[in-house]
Amino acid sequence: MNAYLAILTISAARWSYIAAFIARLPIAMVPLSLLILVEAATGSYAHGGAVSGAFALGSASSVPFWGRALDRGPHRPIIGGTSVISAAFLALALTGTQMEWGLPIIAGLALGVGLFFPPITPAMRVAWRQLVPESSGLLAPAYALDAVAVETLFVLGPLVVAGLYGGGPALPVIATCILLAAGGVGYSFSPAGQASGEKPDTPTAGAARAVVLQPGVLLIALVAAAMSVGFGQMDVALTSAAQAISTHGLMLGLMFAAVAIGSIGGGLFFGARKWRLAGHRLLAASLSGFGLGLAATGLSLWLASPPFLLLPILALAGIFISPGLLVMQQMIDQALPPGRTSEGQALLNAMLTAGGAAGMALGGLWADMVPAMAVFFAAAGTILGGAVIAGWAGGRLLRHRSNRR
């Protein structure tokens, strides 16, 4: 914990951390706010999920371009420009929904939101290396602190949306637009926004290969996809369960808060310690804990347990979220040659964002047909599938590397 405090006593690091936190809130707010907005307008979770899925497609498609741009040039114009353009597309999507422009047009605008979504998380990964010297011994804790912030956002973002939902389905989208534009521009003028790419002068072996084809990266991408799809399904399941339990938004806010508290605590505990287990085993363990926690939530609903019992179960499930993200970030850095880390982290970030939106699309389809407990079970199954991939394929990759040596 002392390392975290030491990082935050550095003025440039503290300012950049706060700016990045605000600028990244829309990462998790956009898919859920679009889902709620379109569902309220059309009466269909499936339609809302389709619009969120369009955002996911745009976000995933733009990864190679923005990742390479971060590796090759200054970050300020990239982050500032994409933030404003993405926010403009989101504002148009809100307008189109209110004026009944039709689902295809709204989905197309959501696609634009994703295509220009600012790559702040991979940019911050590079910025930390310039804000905190590696010789200080604070770089690894800085990565851990950042990972906790990112994973907290995936829980806090929906919590903010749930709180704003009481003012109507348009209010979360309006707030997300403001955060997207103002937060991105604010970050671009922070010390982190002054960072630039780290493209090496001399290409290393394998540097020309597509990032996803680098050894181990495809494995991490698949696991990230499974985790984030399950996460998106969980968001829908929480929304559906809260609506079944209560007629107001308080229960939804409490459920998201429980997951957030668990995630923050688990990330801070994990990041403050050194672990001897191989990365793929830590990843498999964290996803297993998360998946089993969601399965226990579904079981609790099936047994018609009192609503307040859901909160500690969700908090326990949340404990395993941040460690999984931190391990994936570390594995991406280890798998890539110098000068490709921004592109790799952008890929990971897109898999998390796009997977979450895709999970909402799937969850929205099921929530129209089955009770919330079934959506929780589906989310648990998806995440446990990712744990199997991490444990089995990760072990094979490790053995392959050992044999090559």
Domains contained in the chain, number:
1
Q: What mean pLDDT value characterizes the chain?
A: 83
Residue 207 predicted with pLDDT over 50: no
Q: Mean pLDDT throughout 240-257?
A: 77
Sign of the C-alpha dihedral computed for residues 4, 5, 9 and 11 taken in this order? positive
Question: 203 in a domain, yes or no?
Answer: no
| Domain boundaries, position 57 | 2-197+208-404
Q: What integer is the mean pLDDT of 46-67?
A: 83
Most confident of 50-59, 111-120, 122-131: 111-120
Residue 402 has pLDDT above 60, yes or no: no
Q: 139-164 vs 250-271: helix axis angle to the nearest 10?
A: 180
Instruction: Pick the closest to residue 49 from 176, 251, 237 (CA basis).
Output: 237
pLDDT exceeds cutoff 60 at 205: no
Going by C-beta distance under 8 Å and a sequence separation of 6 or more, which residues neighbour residue 116? 58, 62, 82, 85, 86, 89
Q: Any idea what the CATH number is for the domain that residue 102 is in?
A: 1.20.1250.20
Instruction: With respect to residue 115, please indicate whether it lies within any of the assigned structural domains.
Output: yes
- pLDDT number for residue 208: 45
79 found inside a domain: yes
Looking at the domain assignment, is residue 385 inside a domain? yes
Tokens (6 digits) for 97: 């929904």
* Among the listed residues 52, 35, 184, 29, the one whose alpha carbon sits nearest the alpha carbon of residue 111: 52
Mean of the pLDDT values across residues 322-351?
77
Q: What is the pLDDT of residues 83-95, one digit of tens each?
A: 999 999 999 999 9
> What integer pLDDT is reported at residue 117 of this predicted model?
92
| Angle at 66 (CA atoms; ends 210, 221), nearest 5 degrees | 50
Report d(CA 300, CA 380) in Å as an integer: 14
What pLDDT was estimated at residue 6? 87
pLDDT score at 248: 57
Report yes or no: 64 and 342 within 8 Å, Cβ to Cβ: no
In a domain, 202, yes or no: no
Has residue 180 got a pLDDT over 90? Answer: yes
- Give the model's pLDDT for residue 188: 92
How does residue 358 score in pLDDT terms, banded at 50, 70 and 90?
confident
pLDDT at 212: 64
CA–CA dist 258, 254 (Å, integer): 6
Given a cut of 90, whether residue 81 has pLDDT beyond it is yes
User: What is the three-class DSSP state of 204?
Assistant: coil
Q: What gap in Å lies between CA 107 and CA 142, rounded to an integer? A: 37
Share of the chain above pLDDT 90, in %: 29
Look at 213 and 153; give whichever has higher pLDDT. Answer: 153
**Least confident segment among 225-229, 320-324, 398-402:** 398-402
201 CB burial (10 A radius; 0-12, 13-18, 19+): exposed
For position 395, what pLDDT does the model report?
67
Among 165, 195, 156, which Cα is nearest to 27's? 156
Q: What is the rounded average pLDDT of the residues 58-63? A: 81
pLDDT in the model for residue 382:
95
Res 201: pLDDT: 45
Instruction: For Cα atoms 29, 384, 142, give the angle at the middle one, nearest 5 degrees.
Output: 55
pLDDT of residue 209: 54
Asked if the structure places residue 293 within a domain, the reply is: yes
Per-residue pLDDT for 179 more than 70? yes
